[in-house]
Amino acid sequence: MSGRQRTLFQTWGSSISRSSGTPGCSSGTERPQSPGSSKAPLPAAAEAQLESDDDVLLVAAYEAERQLCLENGGFCTSAGALWIYPTNCPVRDYQLHISRAALFCNTLVCLPTGLGKTFIAAVVMYNFYRWFPSGKVVFMAPTKPLVTQQIEACYQVMGIPQSHMAEMTGSTQASTRKEIWCSKRVLFLTPQVMVNDLSRGACPAAEIKCLVIDEAHKALGNYAYCQVVRELVKYTNHFRILALSATPGSDIKAVQQVITNLLIGQIELRSEDSPDILTYSHERKVEKLIVPLGEELAAIQKTYIQILESFARSLIQRNVLMRRDIPNLTKYQIILARDQFRKNPSPNIVG
């Protein structure tokens, strides 16, 4: 072994064990020879020395990775000196801009359907996969088809090795999921599975460096997305969140809840009229199809209206309900009538 190789081991100090039991080391293996080699076998002492040298290098590599995790949170400075954007697909300026922004700040991306949220997620996931060689990248979606779509994008667009990716569902055994968390680096799963694995300690929360959340508008109240984020921050604050949604919320209050629950720092919003996506938007033709109720549903509807009439008729007779078309009476109209009655009750109604 050369003096330089010995120096590599010495830099880690004499505390590192050189025994065969050291993590990542193998014992009793033979060194492969070059094809066609006719050299005589090495003496036993020389062969033992070569195997020992291999053990030293493996230990040094293991220790280097461990120190990297401790000192920089697992961040590889050489890989992190740049970020990669694919050119095997046509480059769209808005996707490039959003991808760059999402790398450096927790971002809520709001794009109309069909304009590449999946592509942006794949770019961000791949760069964190590179930057943190021992970290985990997690993609969550509420349905299995969305999960499958993202797996294909990560492989086809960014070339993440399939051997490093895994999909987990509720039907996957808990023991199997624990093994997957240890052996794979890019995980695709539903939020409920993530909650369960965090609560059981199967998920190495501190190793998660990037969390992508699809259909992010669901992150309200105690939905599983919110539970996942609350659990993760108990272990680490060093992870990036990318939230994706075509419809971020029905009103400002709902949008603010999503922003708060997912720790969002910036919003990248585009509508179909935004100048930078007009080129890629397609005119849609909407055709309305009215499907009549079947016999079974029609019978249920008839029974429901009969029950509703028994209560609504007396309210209509007392002019508490103004609408007399009972089949089309809505919950909102009933609540509105109740509130108005409480404010101005009729003196003619007793009890």
Per-residue confidence in pLDDT tens, the chain, 351 aa: 444 333 333 333 333 333 334 333 333 334 334 344 444 555 555 555 556 666 666 666 556 655 655 566 788 988 889 999 998 888 999 999 999 999 999 999 999 888 889 899 999 999 999 999 999 999 999 888 888 888 888 888 888 888 999 999 888 898 999 999 999 999 999 999 999 999 999 999 999 999 999 999 999 999 999 999 999 999 999 999 999 998 887 788 999 999 999 999 999 999 888 898 888 877 778 899 999 989 999 999 999 988 988 888 888 888 888 777 888 888 888 888 888 888 888 777 766
The whole-number pLDDT of residue 177 equals: 93
The whole-number pLDDT of residue 133 equals: 92
CA within 13 Å, CB half, 68: 18
pTM of the complete model = 0.64
Question: Distance between CA 189 and CA 170 in Å, rounded?
Answer: 9
Q: What is the DSSP letter of 42?
A: P
Contacts of 173 (CB under 8 A, 6+ apart): none
Count CB atoms within 10 A of the CB of residue 266. 14
Q: Where are the alpha helices (DSSP H) in 144-289?
A: 144-156, 174-183, 191-200, 224-232, 252-261
Is the distance from CB of 133 to CB of 79 less than 8 angstroms? yes
Q: In 217-234, which positions are buried (b, 16+ CB within 10 angstroms) versus exposed (e)? A: bbbeeeebbbbbbebbee
- Map residue 251 onto helix, strand or coil: coil
| Amino acid (one-letter) located at 202 | A
CA within 13 Å, CB half, 214: 26
Question: Distance between CA 226 and CA 110 in Å, rounded?
Answer: 19
Question: Distance between CA 166 and CA 188 in Å, rounded?
Answer: 6
Question: Distance between CA 236 and CA 150 in Å, rounded?
Answer: 25
Torsion of CA 85, 91, 97, 100, to 10 degrees: 0
List the beta bridge partners of residue 165: 186
Is the distance from CB of 108 to CB of 245 less than 8 angstroms? yes
The whole-number pLDDT of residue 25 equals: 39
Question: Distance between CA 113 and CA 72 in Å, rounded?
Answer: 38
Q: What is the DSSP letter of 195?
A: H
Give the orientation angle of helix 252-261 with respect to helix 224-232, to 10 degrees.
40
The whole-number pLDDT of residue 324 equals: 74
Is the distance from CB of 189 to CB of 138 less than 8 angstroms? yes
Counting every residue written for the chain, the total comes to 351
Nearest alpha-carbon partner for 97 in 277, 281, 239, 271: 277
Is the distance from CB of 150 to CB of 188 less than 8 angstroms? yes
Is the distance from CB of 86 to CB of 158 less than 8 angstroms? yes
Q: Tokens 């991808």 map to which residue?
A: 99
Enclosing H/E stretch for 307: helix 295-317
Contacts of 124 (CB under 8 A, 6+ apart): 99, 102, 103, 210, 212, 240, 242
